[in-house]
Structure 1
Amino acid sequence: MSRESGASNAKKWALVAAGVGLVYVLVRHRQKLIAPLWRVLPHGNILRNRRVEVINSAQDPATQLIIKELKQHCQKFKVLGFDCEWITVGGSRRPVALLQLSSHQGLCALFRLCHMKQIPKDLRELLEDDAVIKVGVAPQEDAMKLSHDYGVGVASTLDLRFLCVMAGHKPEGLGKLSFRHLDYPLDKNWRLACSNWEAKQLEPPQLNYAANDALVAVAIYEKLCRDLEPRHFWDRRQLNHQSLRQKFEPFLDVDFTKGFSLSVTANGVTRNKPASGTGSSKEKKFVPKKQQYRQLVTQSKAFYDNCFLQAPDGELLCTIDRRKATWYVDQNLGTRICEEPLTVRLNFEPAGRAVGEVGRYYQTPKENRCVVCGQSDAYLRKNVVPREYRRHFPVVMKSHTSHDVLLLCPSCHQLSNISDLRVKNKLAVQCDAPFKHCDGMVKFHDDPELKRVHSAGKALLYHGDKIPAAKVALMQQTLLDFYTECSEVTEDLLRQAVEVDYRVENSEFCQHGERVVQQYRDHFGGLVELERLWREHFLQTMQPRFLPDLWSVNHNADRLEVRANEGRVDEADLLVAGLDTKPKIG
């Protein structure tokens, strides 16, 4: 072999080796190499095609055209970037001044609500459209403010931080999410955030700040959804938004900071793993910081004892727990008939007997397992109709509520509680029943003048020697202006000021649950409709596969009709329930 031939072969083998090495590097580090490309692609089109439209009047014909265009953009890609801006004057928040909505095609509409005074009908329909998801960071807070200020309900809000957790990323603020996932820095200068959004005309930096917040929200959503459905970089198929929505459906209209501890994966919500378990390395535990957690005590022993209770003639009345069966025997109200299963026969005639499917439901033994997934090693009791509503029902509708107490495993229980928040938010709007933490819905509020007197007295009494003389003089004047009969500030006056109670009871306060029950009782068809709403919600969101036989969304209505036919229920209770007061014959 000649020297030239050997050199040529060496070059060939060197090129082959280099090619193999390059392929190895590309395959081995493909995620790191391709990640910057993925960061650029989603937001590139949106920001490159950015078009900002400012709407100042509901009557302007252009307003309807822009809203119509937004709706058209949502025909295929049912997602809008959503954000709001407002100002604070004297420590009090003013109504929302600016509403930002952006589509995936780069259109950002800035609705200056402070000038419009009301929300146009077409815009209201878009906000209330359950099929269109409104994405952002903490969008529920903005939605709540819009509801409070303009009486519009914003449906299907989604906090992007939920998607971050599901995709295994760190949940952060919008600015950090934009930089991390889009490689696009947002201008989050506090001077812009706190600028005058009610100004006669917004400055270009304000318009840019407001528009970009909504636009990048859509781009971040796209990027995180692609992370939930990983593909090869050459696969440019459209996202399957229907399957994606099913994954994050439980998190729609839910506040990210509510403090639920979940294990979340790209496939959705999964059961928490024990701390000592190996688990999957892909699972990321979602535990928001600085949150209060309610301890959930699981039960591993049998919840249903399925003991039998009989009438004096031996007819089966219902299944009961062992403690209740033993109580009948101990009180000489019943006789033990059989040990296994424990069967007790009453020594007196009961008020009623099992009738129809309602009666058969209570006669049927129940299984000790999660009604959703079937897990049987640990479970919690789930109140399908939450206690905060049930507690305000009349007695006749609060008795025999075991039908609405089901067993769920810890994971299904937490997921169900999260989905409940969405219904509670809708009920809050429908019944004008804000939660306690909403604006104006607190049992007590602070009287500003009394609080200033209290604070001044406390500061001077305990820290007067450390406060600058000028500030001491101002505080003393505050006290003298309040206590006009006093000519000087004495220690007794300071102690009197410290004792001032500045909390004033809010005469308009009404608990959320009580208000909802009142509204359904008086205006929305009665309390059986409220029960039906919660039961149907449970069936739709949790899709239980192991419900007890004869479990029904109309259970209480059927039970009350049976009692009405037997003359064992008052007409007033039937009216509250929303049922016909005339008993059915036959």
Structure 2
Amino acid sequence: MSASKKTTITNAALATIGVGIAFAIIKNRHKIIQQLKYAYNFRNPLRHKHIEVIETTDDCQRIVATLKKHCHEYRVLGFDCEWVTVGGKRRPTAMLQLASHKGLCALIRLCSLKTIPMSLRELLEDDKVIKVGIGAHDDAGKLSFDYGVGVASTFDLRYLAVLTNQKSEGLAKMSKSILNVPLDKNWRLVCSDWEANNLTTAQIEYAAKDAMVAVEIFKTLSDVLKKRRFWQSYSSNLEYVLEEIDAFVDVRFKDSFNKLNALAGNTSNSKKSAHIALKKPISRGISTRSKTLYDNCLLEAPDGELLCTCDRKKAQWYVDQNLAQEVSSNPYTVRLNFEPAGRAVGEVGRYYQTPKENQCVVCGRKDAYIRKNVVPREYRKHFPVVMKSHTSHDVLLLCPQCHQKSNISDLKIRTKLGKLCNAPYLNEEGAPKLVEIPELRQLRSAARALMYNSDRIPQWRKEELEKIILKNYSGAEQVTPEMLEECINKDITESFSDYTPHGSKVVQEYQEKFGGLIELEKLWREHFLNTMQPKYLPNLWNVNHNANRLEIRANEGRIEKDDMVIAGLDPSTLAEVTK
């Protein structure tokens, strides 16, 4: 066969093969494209990981500065916490994990720091930075309870899963299905000693991965929610994504939402249906008022002088008790049948006479609002009766978003007051009434080290730790596994009989050392004005309102001298006061 004929046959064969390959590609193009996308999406998302274990304040400030810089580019952080449970009781959060989109993960050992440095507090309280994870809202609650710090803008990744037709599963399953990154969730690792002097490599990897995969899952599902060209940065679609998920920021994921996964089926409208269903109004753990707070009914003295505005229920009560009579239905007005203890005097009196708007005093929103106690109840309840009555001045209306922001900012003042008054704020109702015994803590730490890290401890150090154990076992010559187990599970706390609630201690300190309770009231009011900058406060709302009111009552002889001293007023500067 001639060379030219062979060449012709070869070319024909190659053409036939080429046509066959082209036909196969065209026929299976969707599968091929899907596989290419799969390969692109499932590249190792943790290939740039950089883990830092933080145990000092200086290191914390350094790493937080870097995290803040990363958040300028992409304001999302992976967020998680670890703690130890002893005898069925959870101990304070031992470690906080924060991971940026660049692969940096900070393992901040709060058990070593003992407190939250200001730079870290600012980052956690920054509502512009979204903290993502599974159960992030619950972890934020633990940090608030343990360290008095607010964590703003938490987001549960399961909401984003539902919005993008994925299953709302646990972190390990979502990490495997979405990122192809397995997570070790062995109970021995999950429940390991996060307060140990030295963390194991396995502990460090486990803790870091939880935070890092959280931010990577958010990035990946964000691409599904809003398509992004492969050459574009992740931040290019972030604002759209944040707008779509805004309704679920700082909302605890509820099991009832699992039923929405059924909407993520095979129908073409499944994603849209799930999105619409999820976008329905959600309670953020705070109930908004279903009716107005201010009815602005009028209450008059027997001679017709206006005393104050009040709600309809209160006005009707006077009529039902035959203490007043209705004189007008619009506006509803009742006139007392008896002389009241006092009349409206000065700006204080005019404040109570002025009608109030049913709207958020910060932003003006009128469709949903919540009562806000400017001076929190945990302090007010310890005030004398004369300062607990007529407190409507300090009850304002805020919309849910402003209410949440205000509550987070309040934690700063609570922490400040805790330091000033030696009354650490750990949550007013649930503050621990136990104190650790240092010797028993040392015993437990020694037992943990010998139980879990014996193979890595130098012989001289091991002998020191064994001596600590044997001190507690008279006559014993050798440490046994049973001893270690007993020491690890030992309760290292005792009752703190001198415990005083935070609110009570602060009130006591202010009335004895810091100028009286009117100064505490002013502190909270000024804080509210500075942090919230309200634009719609009621007319005549005043930082010194209660001081002015008490002075009026004192000049009318309607306040005890002792109560004046507690409040911080000087009786000698006023008119005759009741002895």
1:217 aligns with 2:214: yes
- Quote the offset at 1:435 in angstroms: 3.0
Distance 1:110 1:574, change over 3 A: same
1:108 aligns with 2:94: no
Alignment partner of 2:120 out of 113, 118, 126: 126
Alignment partner of 2:497 out of 486, 490, 507: 507
Q: Mapping of 1:123-162 within 5 angstroms?
A: 125-129=119-123, 130-131=125-126, 134-138=131-135, 153=149, 155-156=151-152, 158-161=154-157
Q: What is the distance in 1 between the residues matched to 2:431 and 2:298? A: 51
Q: Specify the code of the residue in structure 2 equivalent to 1:236.
A: Q
1:373 aligns with 2:365: yes
Q: Specify the code of the residue in structure 2 equivalent to 1:189.
A: N
1:435 aligns with 2:430: no
Q: Hey, what does 1:50 align to over in structure 2?
A: 49
CA contact (8 A) 2:130 2:155 kept: no
Q: Hey, what does 1:283 align to over in structure 2?
A: 278
Distance 1:85 1:557, change over 3 A: same
Distance 1:437 1:572, change over 3 A: closer
Q: Hey, what does 2:491 align to over in structure 1?
A: none
Q: Specify the code of the residue in structure 1 equivalent to 2:49.
A: R
- Quote the offset at 1:213 in angstroms: 1.6
CA contact (8 A) 2:61 2:119 kept: no
Q: Mapping of 1:334-349 within 5 angstroms?
A: 337-338=327-328, 340-346=330-336, 349=339
CA contact (8 A) 1:307 1:343 kept: yes
SS in 2 for 1:125: helix
Q: Write out per-residue CA displacement over residues 343-380 of structure 1, whole angstroms, 9 at most, x where no aligned residue.
A: 4445555443323443223223345678753349xx87
Distance 1:184 1:323, change over 3 A: closer
Q: Mapping of 1:53-92 within 5 angstroms?
A: 53-54=52-53, 69-70=66-67, 72-88=69-85
Q: Write out per-residue CA displacement over residues 300-350 of structure 1, whole angstroms, 9 at most, x where no aligned residue.
A: 5x7655443334554322224456556656777656655554544455554
CA contact (8 A) 1:82 1:134 kept: yes
Alignment partner of 1:360 out of 333, 338, 350: 350
1:392 aligns with 2:390: no
Distance 1:33 1:348, change over 3 A: farther
What RMSD in Å do the two structures reach over aligned CA positions? Answer: 5.6
Q: Write out per-residue CA displacement over residues 273-320 of structure 1, whole angstroms, 9 at most, x where no aligned residue.
A: xxxxx99825346889xx9x99x69655x7655443334554322224
Q: Hey, what does 2:173 align to over in structure 1?
A: 176
Q: Mapping of 1:415-454 within 5 angstroms?
A: 422=408, 426=412, 429-430=415-416, 431=418, 432-435=424-427, 438=430, 440-441=432-433
Q: What is the distance in 2 between the residues matched to 1:241 and 1:332? A: 63
Q: What is the distance in 2 between the residues matched to 1:155 and 1:439? A: 19
Distance 1:315 1:355, change over 3 A: same
Q: Specify the code of the residue in structure 2 equivalent to 1:309.
A: L
Distance 1:330 1:427, change over 3 A: same
Q: Hey, what does 2:524 align to over in structure 1?
A: 530
- Quote the offset at 1:106 in angstroms: 1.6
Q: What is the distance in 2 between the residues matched to 1:309 and 1:148? A: 43
- Quote the offset at 1:556 in angstroms: 3.5
Q: What is the distance in 2 between the residues matched to 1:552 and 1:164? A: 44
- Quote the offset at 1:98 in angstroms: 4.8
- Quote the offset at 1:233 in angstroms: 4.0
Q: What is the distance in 2 between the residues matched to 1:99 and 1:247? A: 28
Distance 1:366 1:173, change over 3 A: same
Distance 1:63 1:319, change over 3 A: closer
Q: Hey, what does 2:205 align to over in structure 1?
A: 208
Q: What is the distance in 2 between the residues matched to 1:118 and 1:563? A: 49
Q: Specify the code of the residue in structure 1 equivalent to 2:306.
A: L
Q: Specify the code of the residue in structure 2 equivalent to 1:160.
A: D
Q: What is the distance in 2 between the residues matched to 1:223 and 1:574? A: 62
Q: What is the distance in 1 between the residues matched to 2:325 and 2:331? A: 14
Structure 1: runs of 5+ lacking an equivalent:
1-14, 263-277, 443-503
Q: What is the distance in 2 between the residues matched to 1:63 and 1:366? A: 47
Q: Write out per-residue CA displacement over residues 232-287 of structure 1, whole angstroms, 9 at most, x where no aligned residue.
A: 546836358789889989988x6837x8999xxxxxxxxxxxxxxx9982534688
Aligned identity (percent) is 45
Q: What is the distance in 1 between the residues matched to 2:209 and 2:168? A: 19
Q: What is the distance in 1 between the residues matched to 2:276 and 2:549? A: 50
Distance 1:346 1:225, change over 3 A: same
Equivalent pairs, count: 461
CA contact (8 A) 1:135 1:159 kept: yes
CA contact (8 A) 1:305 1:321 kept: yes
Structure 2: runs of 5+ lacking an equivalent:
1-21, 258-272, 419-423, 435-493
Q: What is the distance in 1 between the residues matched to 2:497 and 2:237? A: 50
Q: What is the distance in 2 between the residues matched to 1:152 and 1:340? A: 48
- Quote the offset at 1:395 in angstroms: 1.9
TM-score, length of structure 2 as denominator length: 0.58
CA contact (8 A) 2:163 2:275 kept: no
- Quote the offset at 1:527 in angstroms: 2.9
CA contact (8 A) 2:175 2:183 kept: yes
Q: Specify the code of the residue in structure 1 equivalent to 2:353.
A: Q
CA contact (8 A) 2:150 2:411 kept: no
CA contact (8 A) 1:307 1:321 kept: yes
Q: Mapping of 1:254-265 within 5 angstroms?
A: 256=252
CA contact (8 A) 2:83 2:194 kept: yes
Q: What is the distance in 1 between the residues matched to 2:61 and 2:288? A: 53
TM-score, length of structure 1 as denominator length: 0.58
Q: What is the distance in 1 between the residues matched to 2:193 and 2:370? A: 50
SS in 1 for 2:308: strand
| Bigger mean CA offset, 313-322 vs 91-100 | 91-100
Q: What is the distance in 2 between the residues matched to 1:400 and 1:104? A: 51
- Quote the offset at 1:199 in angstroms: 5.8
| Bigger mean CA offset, 174-183 vs 93-102 | 93-102
| Bigger mean CA offset, 511-520 vs 186-195 | 511-520
